[in-house]
Chain A
Amino acid sequence: MAAERGTAAETLVGQVVLPGDLLLLPAHYDEDAEGERLRLSAGAAPQGRLLCGPGLRRSGAGLLVTKCGLLRHRPAGGGAFWVDSQQKRYVPVKGDHVIGIVTAKVGDVFRLDVGGSEPASLSYLAFEGATKRNRPNVQVGDLIYGQFLVANKDMEPEMVCIDSSGKSSGMGIIGQDGFLFKVSLGLIRKLLAPKCEIIQELSQLYPFELVLGMNGRIWVKAKTVQQTLIIVNILEACEYMTAEQRKQALAKLSGN
Chain B
Amino acid sequence: FMQRGLDSQTKKQLEEEEKKIISEEHWYLDVPDLKEKESCIIEERSFLPCEDLVYGRMSFKGFNPEIEKLMIQMNSKCKGEDIEEDDKMEADVSDEEMARRYETLVGTIGKKFLRKRDQRVLKDDDEDEDDEVEEGNSNTIPSKRAKKMFLKPQD
Contacts and interface: CB of A to CB of B under 8 A. Distances in A.
A100 interface: no
A169 B46 contact: no
A74 B48 CA distance: 13
A193 B51 contact: yes
A1 B45 contact: no
B153 interface: no
Contacts, number: 121
Interface in B94-119: none
Contacts of B42: 49-52
A211 interface: yes
A216 to B, nearest CB: 12
Contacts of B70: 169-170
Interface string A8-44: 0000000000000000010001111100000000000
Contact of B46 (A93, A170, A222): A93
A124 interface: no
Interface in A44-69: 49-54, 56-58, 63
B37 interface: yes
A209 B63 contact: yes
A192 B50 CA distance: 12
Nearest to A82: B50
Interface in B15-45: 35, 37-45
B46 A94 contact: yes
Interface stretch (A136-144, A199-207, A241-249): A199-207
Contact of A31 (B40, B49, B63): B40
A194 interface: yes
Nearest to B55: A170
A35 to B, nearest CB: 9
Contact of A203 (B37, B43, B60, B74): B60
B74 A53 contact: no
Contacts of B54: 192-194
Given A210-B59, A212-B56, A51 B50 contact: yes
A95 B46 CA distance: 7
Contact of B59 (A63, A72, A209): A209
Given A33-B35, A52-B43, 16 more contacts: A32-B37, A50-B40, A50-B42, A51-B42, A53-B47, A54-B45, A82-B51, A95-B46, A169-B73, A189-B53, A194-B54, A209-B59, A210-B59, A213-B56, A221-B63, A223-B63
11 contacts: A30-B40, A31-B37, A54-B50, A93-B45, A145-B56, A170-B67, A192-B51, A193-B54, A209-B60, A211-B57, A222-B63
Interface of B: 35, 37-64, 67, 70, 73-74
Which 8 pairs, one residue from A and one from B, show the smallest C-beta to C-beta distance?
A207-B61, A203-B60, A192-B53, A207-B63, A212-B56, A53-B50, A209-B59, A93-B46
